[in-house]
Amino acid sequence: MKESERGHFSGPVAIFHEKRLPEVASPAGYSALIDAFDLSVPLPRRLYAIGEHHRVVKKEGWLILTPRHAPRPTLEGHLTFALKHEGLDLAVLKRLFRATGPTPIETLVRKKPTGSYARRIWFLYEWLTDKQLNHPDASDGRYSTVVNPHKQWTIAGETSRRHRLKNNLPGTREFCPMVFRTNNLNRFTELNLPERAKKVINDVPGDLLARTAAFLLLKDSKSSYAIEGESPPQDRIQRWGRAIGEAGRQNLDLDELLRLQKIVIGDTRFIDLGLRLEDGFVGTHDRHTHMPLPGHISARPENLPSLVEGMVAFVREYVPNLDPVMAAAVLAFGFVYTHPFEDGNGRVHRYLIHHVLTQRGFNPPGVVFPVSAAILESINEYRQVLEDYSSRLMPLIEWEQTKDGNVHVLNETHDFYRYFDATPHVEFLFRCVQKTIDEDLPNETDFLRCYDLFKTRITSMVDMPANTIDLLFRFLQQNDGRLSMRAREREFKALTADETAQVEEIYGELFSDLST
């Protein structure tokens, strides 16, 4: 776009940035600003436009409003429209403010110095750019909030007297993903999942609960490696399980993240520990040319210290004031998009979920929700959630291939990892946590109860060592509750036909309604 065309707002279009509109309409709000100022930013998950008919159309990622909603075709008009209807997209706003410079924003504020939207724009300019406008502190105007709490999740915040606003942004300039209020999230937050988890374990004897917790911990550790397509030796699985079991006990900082990476990797002979010193990507290589085929490109190494510092500050200052599941998702997915390490990012990303939930007292003491197991069972949805943002981010990253088959990022990208819409990620994690509480925790407890009763009844029928009973159970489990002919003729040939029938009957009574 030519410099002379910047700030020119177009009329009705059928296609916007290669996305076809449901009908011809004029971009409005963020879509109009992105187009007018040629902003290189991830497109919002929902785009707005003004249609030519007096009906609202909600389709294919677009919300097309009626002509009466049309903003004035000016910077102020579309910015006000965006804040009013769309909420905050900090990545778009920061790139916009860099494109406009301070003068148009100062002009806008001077026109309406007491207006709530003008003061919010003023605050956001100074907060995002870390530069102060040439404008005196506000002396009039009702106090309002920077973020509309009816549209996006916020914290209580602190007062900014300069702008006569309450800064309720849920993060710092270095790290502040946003989460929109949705019907799903409103429902999830009303479920009181911690209380449901407590009710599940209230009647569970202490020894049984301890065994349940140990199994769920091991299950989570195994699943976390399985998500990465790895089958490590048992000692690494157990070592990582112990680390998960200690989640939330230590304050989170860079040193703690580095400690976790070392536990994850184990053999460090071929891995450089610590923050990456080179660019990185998630994907594959062309098998003929060895050209990188990235599905996601990580943050540039020079931006990693401030990004990690922002995440650490988020844990320290904002996690205590947000819903625990929401805070866990924002932190964990922000970490995995940033990908600060050469290796081990995925497992640390999932560890961060445990860290936040445990630190906030979300799960019952001593019990680790097997979130990784729930993720593994929904692996396709998990990947779709990850790709929801990566697919919008990738077209904006300019890169070239290096001699060793890596990528070298050519443009500035750090804001894309600081500010993103984490709504799908939060909804996904809520579904996983609800599953662990409503299914995994009670199912494992019921299974252990039944298994104990199985052992008792088998022992009362025939003297059999514990390890032999366990082998018997596994044979029955693998063959739909029946002992195979091989087992009858070899490992359990000492059982009579009547005893075999009784064993199969006991198994059926106890486990027919359980998923073992």
Non-local (6+) Cβ contacts of 24 within 8 A are 12, 13, 14, 51, 52
Per DSSP, helices labelled H in 24-166 are 30-36, 75-81, 90-100, 102-111, 116-129
pLDDT at 513: 74
Non-local (6+) Cβ contacts of 338 within 8 A are 298, 299, 304, 307, 308, 311, 417
Compute CA 247 distance to the chain's CA centroid, rounded to the nearest angstrom. Answer: 18
221 vs 176, residue with greater confidence: 176
Structure tokens at 45: 């998950």
Nearest to 143, CA basis, from 123, 125, 165, 169: 165
For 37-53, how does the pLDDT look when each residue is reduced to its tens digit (9 = 90+)? Answer: 999 999 999 999 999 99
Nearest to 251, CA basis, from 311, 172, 307: 311
Task: Please compute Rg for the chain using Cα positions.
Answer: 28
With H, G, I as helix, E, B as strand and everything else as coil, classify residue 41.
coil
Please give the torsion angle defined by the CA atoms of residues 370, 371, 373 and 379, in that order, rounded to the nearest 10 degrees.
180
Sign of the C-alpha dihedral computed for residues 355, 356, 361 and 367 taken in this order: negative
**What burial letters (b/e) apply to 272-297, b meaning 16+ CB within 10 Å?**
eeebbeebbbbeeeeeeeeebebebb
Residue 412 CA to residue 300 CA, distance in Å, equals 8
pLDDT at 516: 45
Q: Strands 62-65 and 399-401: what pairing?
A: unpaired
Please give the torsion angle defined by the CA atoms of residues 156, 160, 166 and 167, in that order, rounded to the nearest 10 degrees.
-60
Residue 123 CA to residue 119 CA, distance in Å, equals 6
Residue 84 CA to residue 470 CA, distance in Å, equals 63
With H, G, I as helix, E, B as strand and everything else as coil, classify residue 178.
strand
Non-local (6+) Cβ contacts of 238 within 8 A are 218, 221
pLDDT, average across residues 425-431? 97
Residue 194 CA to residue 516 CA, distance in Å, equals 26
Choice among 162-166, 277-281, 364-368 with the minimum mean pLDDT: 364-368
pLDDT at 508: 93
For 178-234, how does the pLDDT look when each residue is reduced to its tens digit (9 = 90+)? Answer: 999 999 999 999 999 999 888 888 878 888 888 888 888 888 898 998 998 888 888
Q: Is 125 exposed, middle or buried (0-12, 13-18, 19+ CB in 10 A)?
A: buried
**Bridge partner residues of 282 (DSSP):** 296
Nearest to 440, CA basis, from 376, 385, 348, 349: 376
Q: Strands 62-65 and 47-51: what pairing?
A: parallel
For 83-105, how does the pLDDT look when each residue is reduced to its tens digit (9 = 90+)? Answer: 999 999 999 999 999 999 999 99
Helix (H) or strand (E) holding 180: none
pLDDT above 90 covers a percentage of the chain that reads: 78
**What burial letters (b/e) apply to 22-60, b meaning 16+ CB within 10 Å?**
bbebbbbbbbbbbbbbebebbbbebbbbbbeeeeebeee
Pair 351, 341: CB distance under 8 Å: no
Residue 227 CA to residue 192 CA, distance in Å, equals 28
Confidence of residue 6 (pLDDT cuts 50, 70, 90): low
Residue 491 CA to residue 487 CA, distance in Å, equals 5
Backbone phi and psi for residue 180, each to the nearest 5 degrees, phi listed first: -85, 150
Structural domains in the chain, CATH included, are 1-84 (no CATH), 183-433 (1.10.3290.10), 444-511 (no CATH)
Non-local (6+) Cβ contacts of 176 within 8 A are 90, 169, 170, 310, 314, 418, 419
pLDDT > 90? residue 8:
no
Structure tokens at 259: 């400690």
pLDDT, average across residues 367-385? 92
Pair 19, 50: CB distance under 8 Å: no
pLDDT > 60? residue 445:
yes
Residue 49 CA to residue 26 CA, distance in Å, equals 5
Pair 416, 42: CB distance under 8 Å: yes
pLDDT, average across residues 488-509? 93
Confidence of residue 430 (pLDDT cuts 50, 70, 90): very high
The CA-CA-CA angle for residues 499, 502, 503, to 5°, reads 85
